[in-house]
Structure 1
Amino acid sequence: MAHHLTTVVLEAAWRRTITEHCQRILQAVEDSPTDVLANLVASTEVVDEAWRRYRRSLDGATRGPYPLPEAA
């Protein structure tokens, strides 16, 4: 159960990270020079790391001692 909760939290964190990244890009589209915009678009390290942490959690969930919850 605890592992499932960790996965849920990591998924929410990944989605929040994407939202924040997209908001920065949208703001840059309106106000920033093109080189700044290009750097923001290319800079995905934080989003990528959140994705890797989420995927590692999912991989562990499929091999871990706790079964995945059934869909309601």
Structure 2
Amino acid sequence: MPTYSYRCTVCGHAFDAQQSFSDAALTACPQCDGLLRKVFSTPAVTFKGSGFYRTDSKSSSSNKS
């Protein structure tokens, strides 16, 4: 199950919640009943460079006869 980060717009309370993809987003702060917003951050895994596609590792000039 994915973990989502939330922060209250009223009191600033921040917390993480494990929710299924089909669950509705949380809207009320558990401390003050204020409005919650999801906190988005950079992904944990970043793919850089070549070689991630099947055609990346093939050389266009390599013709075997």
* TM-score (structure 2 length as normaliser): 0.30
| Bigger strand fraction | 2
Greater relative contact order (Cα < 8 A, sep 6+) = 1
* TM-score (structure 1 length as normaliser): 0.28
| Bigger helix fraction | 1
